[in-house]
């Protein structure tokens, strides 16, 4: 018998998810907790979980096996952040200050700020300059317990600059422990130089960008910002249909600031996820419930814009829709990388239970990037992406807020982050 690489022992609470019978046509998961739990890891995968008596007879341990004592820790799957915009150059704290002083996000955008200011930044930066700022953000994701993110382009808005952004993601994916799943978001905004000829830009996205991105394997998903004043539902249908034909899977920014019907388009096109949904109506909730499309909810963007219009998580969950939580990390409307904070907001303002919030940040986040059989869980066979929390109970993860309970992060069976409490 081959000896295992890593053994986590005596976890105060070991959390994993097991599948129950389908409800509303969707398979569902239930949270399970093992007291004094053990996790055995080999070749980057979980091979056994259970009590000491269940796990130890099945594994061989030798001097090469790393052992981590978790007797005062909660152990969960690594968090999966299924909606982020990490490839930007400059931060926009001056806009934050303007907002605090009363300017609206729309007024700031009209004055040259907003997404367009990040577009200027990405276009002016070299690939290496972009990589060096993005790399630091990846370190921070790991430090707050996130082991995989979905990462969008969308601040380039030209073939060259969208490709540059996606190459930053691809190259850093090879160089960094954080795993990134790339999404092409060339239809994030209409770039300034195409304001008077938007159809030409849509043609550029459909005829040049999507084929190039798909042929070169630069993205798995294609996303669009379908919103009043940005892209209409019929434009979104054209762009996403082209993406689907090119072999990309589909996501949408849908019904965020206005009810446009984008969520219904998402279900019609069998999008993997429809994200935001702050303005979703009951008809849209029904459409989601009778589809396989996952609801990607982003409470950070509601909170950070000072709004109170949180998406209808409770109604979606009660209707049987699968729900994930994500940070929407971006320099304008959600400058956070913390999924635990999203869990807190999800519980407080969207009436999700701590169990639902944790599943929304792990297994359903994984489902939202088509990886629910690979990551987001600790059953044998899953990738050994694990977080050890300085906590006694998983419900403390959303209960504490504004502090980081992460102690140790394991990615593919290797420790990639460990908190330094200092010695005392
Ligand atoms: Zn977004």
Query: 172: helix, coil or strand?
Result: helix
Per-residue pLDDT band at 28 (split at 50, 70, 90): confident
Is the pLDDT at 130 greater than 90? The verdict is: yes
What mean pLDDT do residues 328-345 have?
97
With b for 16 or more beta-carbon neighbours within 10 A and e for fewer, the 343-376 pattern comes to: bbbbbebbebebbbbbbbbbbbbbbbbebbeebb
CA of 332 to the centre of ligand 1 (A): 10
Query: 213: helix, coil or strand?
Result: helix
CA of 325 to the centre of ligand 1 (A): 12
Is the pLDDT at 424 greater than 50? The verdict is: no
Is the pLDDT at 396 greater than 50? The verdict is: yes
DSSP-assigned letter for residue 402 = S
CA of 85 to the centre of ligand 1 (A): 6
CA of 256 to the centre of ligand 1 (A): 10
CA of 174 to the centre of ligand 1 (A): 24
**Which residue has tokens 């729900």?**
323
With b for 16 or more beta-carbon neighbours within 10 A and e for fewer, the 225-249 pattern comes to: bbbeebbbbebbbbbbebbbebebb
The Cα 382–Cα 20 span in angstroms is 18
What mean pLDDT do residues 61-88 have?
97
CA of 328 to the centre of ligand 1 (A): 5
CA of 35 to the centre of ligand 1 (A): 38
Q: What is the pLDDT of residues 207-263, one digit of tens each?
A: 999 999 999 999 999 999 999 999 999 999 999 999 999 999 999 999 999 999 999
Average pLDDT for the chain: 95
CA of 44 to the centre of ligand 1 (A): 31
Q: Which domains does the chain have, with CATH numbers?
A: 6-77+377-418 (2.30.40.10), 79-367 (3.20.20.140)
Strand arrangement, sheet containing 37-42: 45-50, 37-42, 6-11, 66-69
CA of 381 to the centre of ligand 1 (A): 31
Handedness of CA 129, 134, 140, 142 (dihedral sign): negative
Instruction: Note the pTM of the prediction, 2 decimals.
Output: 0.97
What mean pLDDT do residues 30-56 have?
98
Q: Which of 20-24, 30-34, 200-204, 336-340 has the lowest mean pLDDT?
A: 20-24
CA of 32 to the centre of ligand 1 (A): 31
The Cα 324–Cα 285 span in angstroms is 15
What mean pLDDT do residues 51-67 have?
96
CA of 404 to the centre of ligand 1 (A): 24
Alpha helices in 231-386 (DSSP H): 233-245, 262-268, 282-289, 299-304, 313-318, 339-350, 354-360, 363-367
Rounded to 5 degrees, φ, ψ at 114 are: 70, -155
Query: 194: helix, coil or strand?
Result: helix
Is the pLDDT at 82 greater than 50? The verdict is: yes
Residues, beta carbon < 5 Å, ion ligand 1 = 328
């Amino acid at each position: 018998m081959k000896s295992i690489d890593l053994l986590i022992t005596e976890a105060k609470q070991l959390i994993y998810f097991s599948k129950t019978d389908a409800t509303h046509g969707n398979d569902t998961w239930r949270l399970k907790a093992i007291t004094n739990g053990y996790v055995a890891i080999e070749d980057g995968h979980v091979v056994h979980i259970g009590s000491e008596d269940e796990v130890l007879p099945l594994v061989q341990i030798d001097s090469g096996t790393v052992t981590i004592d978790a007797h005062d820790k909660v152990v969960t799957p690594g968090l999966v952040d299924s909606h982020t915009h990490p490839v930007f150059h400059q931060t926009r704290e001056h806009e934050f200050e303007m907002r605090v002083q009363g300017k609206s996000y729309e007024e700031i955008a009209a004055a040259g700020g907003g997404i367009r200011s990040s577009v200027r930044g990405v276009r002016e930066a070299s690939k290496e300059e972009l990589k060096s700022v993005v790399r630091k953000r990846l370190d921070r994701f790991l430090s707050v317990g996130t082991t995989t993110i979905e990462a969008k382009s969308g601040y380039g808005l030209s073939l060259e600059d969208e490709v540059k952004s996606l190459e930053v993601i691809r190259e850093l994916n090879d160089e960094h422990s954080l795993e990134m799943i790339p999404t092409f978001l060339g239809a994030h905004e209409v770039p300034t130089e195409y304001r008077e000829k938007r159809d030409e830009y849509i043609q550029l996205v459909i005829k040049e960008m999507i084929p190039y991105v798909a042929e070169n394997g630069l993205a798995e998903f294609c996303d669009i910002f379908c919103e009043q004043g940005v892209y209409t539902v019929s434009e979104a249908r054209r762009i996403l249909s082209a993406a689907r034909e090119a072999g990309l899977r589909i996501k949408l920014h849908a019904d965020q600031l206005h009810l446009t019907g984008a969520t219904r388009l998402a279900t019609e096109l069998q999008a993997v996820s429809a994200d935001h949904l702050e303005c979703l109506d009951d008809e849209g909730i029904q459409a989601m419930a009778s589809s396989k499309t996952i609801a990607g909810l982003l409470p950070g963007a509601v909170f950070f814009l000072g709004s109170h219009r949180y998406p209808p998580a409770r109604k979606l969950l009660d209707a049987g829709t699968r729900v994930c939580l994500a940070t929407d990390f971006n320099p304008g409307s959600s400058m956070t990388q913390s999924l635990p904070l999203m869990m807190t907001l999800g519980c407080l303002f969207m009436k999700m239970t701590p169990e639902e919030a944790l599943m929304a940040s792990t297994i359903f986040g994984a489902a939202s990037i088509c990886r629910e059989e690979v990551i987001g869980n600790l059953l044998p066979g899953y990738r050994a992406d694990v977080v050890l929390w300085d906590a006694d109970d998983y419900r403390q993860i959303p209960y504490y807020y504004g502090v980081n309970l992460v102690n140790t992060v394991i990615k593919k069976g290797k420790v990639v982050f460990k908190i330094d409490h200092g010695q005392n």
